[in-house]
Amino acid sequence: MKFHKEGVTSLIVAILFSVLVNAITFFFFNDYQIVKIIGYILSALVLIIIIQFFRSPQRNWIQRDGDIISPADGTVVVIEEVEETEYFNEKRLQVSVFMSPINVHINRYPISGNLKYYKYHPGLFLVAWHPKSSTENERTTAVVEDNKGRTVLFRQIAGALARRIVFFDQEGKSVEQNEECGFIKFGSRVDLLLPLDVKLNVKLNEKVKGGITTIAKF
């Protein structure tokens, strides 16, 4: 298990917070056993939350041509046909994965290929399961095309708690399936917009793992 680089600043802040809480507890409340216990528990809890949130687990990544792999850990909360108007301007199958605060929040490329399109959209911070969050929340849009001309669009979507989306790459880069592409801090969701003729491999409310679970097959 590794600690992700995106969490270094948060970890430093958490450590400073814990040191401050413990110092105040020790110097001003040393005679109050309950206050001391609460202070120690609070500081430890903050550190544990940050460490678990920014964890980067080691997994047996397997690249599978023709498979569309989940870009994130979480739960499948949407499976429906939608009219995609930003890039394809056609109907697509939307599969959305909701990430709770306890999930791993690293995002990964669902297929290998060329990063054909990328755009950041400022927006609102509606709860991630809101129907309009895909089009009105702060989000990124990326499109990857493989060597057979097959394309997948996916979006990182901010939520009520997620206030920072990180995307690592630029248009034109050659990317690999399961390679890290970004990070969403403190919850939210990722949408996949797939061709209508894919063979779906998941169902609603199913738990998925980023870089492991096959969402669909071309």
Structural domains counted in the chain: 2
pLDDT at 162 over 60: no
The confidence score (pLDDT) of residue 52 equals: 86
**Could you give the CA distance from residue 10 to residue 185 in angstroms, rounded to a whole number?**
10
**Same domain, residue pair 154 and 196:** yes
**Same domain, residue pair 51 and 86:** no
Residues with a catalytic annotation lie at: 188
**Same domain, residue pair 150 and 48:** no
pLDDT at 1 over 90: no
Q: Is 88 exposed, middle or buried (0-12, 13-18, 19+ CB in 10 A)?
A: middle
Q: Band of the pLDDT at 161, cuts 50, 70, 90?
A: low
pLDDT at 203 over 90: yes
**Same domain, residue pair 43 and 146:** no
Q: Helices 8-28 & 33-53, crossing angle to 10 degrees?
A: 180
Domain that residue 14 falls in: 2-56
The confidence score (pLDDT) of residue 90 equals: 95
**Same domain, residue pair 81 and 11:** no
For 33-82, write each residue's pLDDT tens digit.
Answer: 898 888 889 989 999 988 988 888 888 887 889 999 999 999 999 999 99
